[in-house]
Amino acid sequence: MVGPDNPETVFTWQAPPFKFGPGASEEIGYDLAQLGVREVLLVTDRHLEATGAPATVAKAIEAAGVDVAIYSGTGVEPTDASFADAVDFASTRKWDGFVAVGGGSVIDTAKAINLLTTYPAPVLDYINKPIGKGLAPPGPLKPLVAVPTTAGTGAESTAVCVLDVLDLKVKTGISHSRLRPTMAVIDPTLTLTLPRQVTAAAGMDVLGHALESYTARDHRSFAHRAPHERVAYCGANPVSDLWCERAIKLVGSALRRAASDGSDVAARTDMMLAATFAGMGFGNAGVHIPHACAYPIAGNVRGYRPDGYDADEAMVPHGQAVAITTPAAFRATFAAAPHRHVEAAAWLDADMAAATADDSEKLPTALAALMADIGIPNGLADVGYAEADVPTLVEGALKQTRLLQIAPIEASADTLGEVFKGSMRNW
């Protein structure tokens, strides 16, 4: 990419304070009280509610003298309709804080509740351009404490919430620094009951965050922005790079173990650390082609129903949708920063990287091997797509301008088409 005449010289980096470790969720009542919260809505989903984890967290909140109610209607993959239902529920009462106990869908729903009850407006007003108006929240939001139960989305660290807009058949998001949770409480024991398939998909989402951020456009390649114009995703920068490197190494050593033995507390802990670190990386640098491609893959699904997910309708889990195009996407981006792709491959799987002679294939090969080992679908064909669907998928990906501008190459229709075609089968 040709650099701007007036290049950016400043990058921003933000992350919420967090508490990490087995048993951390037992202290959440104390943490809320320190934030001055006295009436809190706990957001979760019905599957998690059945495990008893949200009720346990609610008891810890009540023990600190904080009044709590539970909303468990979150969708598995949130939509504008499920956001509306959640906001309707939350609007029946005035809350001075929110707690999200769940994966990315739950945490993103809590972010939307916080935004849309504090500053009511049609959701399309806040959704990123060109799908929505991309308006900023008018002011600060209420305290939101995120308690992740999956090692995947990193939503506890990010300033983004993602949703499907049903009428448009597109997955998109709302992005602003004010959406970032006030605090994250990260307790690895909450992930011990996750099914293998959910663990695998969530883990690939972590890896996508870290790899895409590490290979993103350098923050200095953008035009200089005024302070009020700076966006949450500012491009690769030295601070995000550090977190991404550590996250990639942790995924390489822990994801196979966590997926094969859900009771491996050490592996679960390392994956929660990886998710947190990746969130601290991509929540500032940004993600690009695989995530942009994932949204139309999820949004246009027809009949695919993944194992391990108690979904009411066809769906491609976000982590699977991201993973499917990663080998082809990183082949496409290799020439933009060969050394970064080679480094990342070695961090992920040193033996595989050393055994692969072609530098451009080191990262795709390591990714395909990992996906095959943990049970990720073998390409778009496995989730119900054919080459005839490529134009529709490209059209959906091109709408993700917020993400594609972070890509280290020009993400044209032709480039995206080749990525989708190259992702029909990965091994």
Written as one string, the DSSP assignment of 173-189 is EEE-GGGS-SEEEE-GG
One domain, residues 282 and 409: yes
Q: How confident is the model at residue 193 (pLDDT cuts 50, 70, 90)?
A: confident
Place of tokens 């990714």: 367
Q: Are the beta carbons of 374 and 366 closer than 8 angstroms? A: no
List the beta strands (DSSP E) in 56-207: 67-71, 97-102, 144-148, 160-165, 170-175, 183-186
Question: What is the residue type of 405?
Answer: Q
In DSSP notation, 332-378 reads HHGGG-HHHHHHHHHHH-HHHHHH--SHHHHHHHHHHHHHHHHT--S
pLDDT > 80? residue 407: yes
Last residue of a domain, one of 133, 152, 186: 186
pLDDT for 151: 84
Q: Report which of 313, 284, 312 is spatially closest to residue 301, judged by C-alpha positions.
A: 313
The torsion defined by the Cα of 418, 419, 424 and 427, in degrees rounded to 10, comes to: 110
Percent of the chain with pLDDT over 70: 99
Instruction: Indicate if 351 and 221 belong to the same structural domain.
Output: yes
Could you tell me if 153 and 163 are in contact, meaning their C-beta atoms sit under 8 angstroms apart?
A: no
Residues 239 and 387 in one domain: yes
**Does some domain include residue 352?**
yes
Kindly report the backbone phi and psi dihedral angles of residue 377, in degrees, each rounded to the nearest multiple of 5, phi listed first. Answer: -55, 145
Domain end marker among 186, 219, 254: 186
Q: What mean pLDDT comes out for the span 7-16?
A: 90
Structural domain count, the chain: 2
Domain at 83, CATH number: 3.40.50.1970
Residue 2 covered by a domain: no
Q: Is residue 17 domain-resident?
A: no
In angstroms, the CA 387 to CA 184 distance is: 42
Is 415 in the same domain as 349? yes
Q: What is the CA 122 to chain-centroid distance, rounded?
A: 23
Residue 10, domain member (yes or no): no
The answer to whether 200 and 374 are in contact (CB under 8 A) is yes
Calpha distance 159→126 (Å, rounded): 13
148 beta partners: 102
Residue holding tokens 């679908």?
Answer: 377
Same domain for 52 and 150 = yes
- 130 and 206 in a single domain? The answer is no
Q: What pLDDT score does 2 carry?
A: 57
Q: Which two tokens stand for residue 346?
A: 């070695």
Would residue 151 count as lying in a domain? Answer: yes
Q: Is residue 117 part of a domain?
A: yes
Beta strands per DSSP E along 12-63: 18-20, 39-43
Over residues 95-146, the pLDDT tens digits come to 999 999 998 899 999 999 999 999 999 999 999 888 899 999 999 999 999 9
* Cα distance between residue 255 and residue 204, in whole Å: 9
Taking the C-alpha atoms of residue 377 and residue 238, their distance in angstroms, rounded to an integer, is 34
Give the β-pairing of 144-148 and 160-165.
unpaired
Q: Report the CATH number at residue 379.
A: 1.20.1090.10
106 and 225 inside one domain: no
* Residue 223 DSSP label: B
- Do residue 148 and residue 257 come from a single domain? no
Model confidence over 348-370: pLDDT tens digits?
999 999 999 999 999 999 999 99
In this predicted structure, what is the pLDDT of residue 282? 86
Instruction: Give yes or no: residues 339 and 264 share one domain.
Output: yes
**What is the pLDDT of the chain when averaged over all its residues?**
93
341, two tokens: 């792709």
Specify the pLDDT at position 376.
98
Range 27-38 average pLDDT: 94
18 domain-assigned: no
Q: What's the pLDDT tens digit per position in 226-258?
A: 988 888 789 999 999 999 999 999 999 999 999
Note the pLDDT tens digit of each residue in 211-224.
Answer: 999 999 999 999 99
Rounded CA-CA distance 271/257 in Å is: 10
Does the pLDDT at position 375 exceed 80? yes
Residues whose CB falls within 8 Å of the CB of residue 226, separated by 6 or more in sequence, listed in order: none
User: Burial code of 205-215, b = ≥16 C-beta within 10 A, e = fewer?
Assistant: bbbbbbbbbbb
Q: Which helix (H) or strand (E) holds 258?
A: helix 238-260
Boundary (domain end) residue, out of 123, 151, 186: 186
Residues 147 and 282 in one domain: no
Q: Judge whether residue 403 has pLDDT over 80.
A: yes
226 and 368 both lie in a single domain: yes
| pLDDT bracket for residue 1 (50, 70, 90) | low
Q: Which domain holds residue 400?
A: 196-421
Query: How far apart, in whole angstroms, are the C-alpha atoms of residue 385 and residue 302?
Result: 9
Q: 270 in a domain, yes or no?
A: yes
Lowest-confidence pick of 163-177, 198-212, 327-341: 163-177
Q: What is the pLDDT of residue 402?
A: 85
In a shared domain, residues 174 and 241 = no
Strand partners, 51: none
- In this prediction, residue 14 has a pLDDT band, given cuts at 50, 70 and 90, of confident
Q: CA-to-CA distance for 262 and 276, rounded, in angstroms?
A: 19
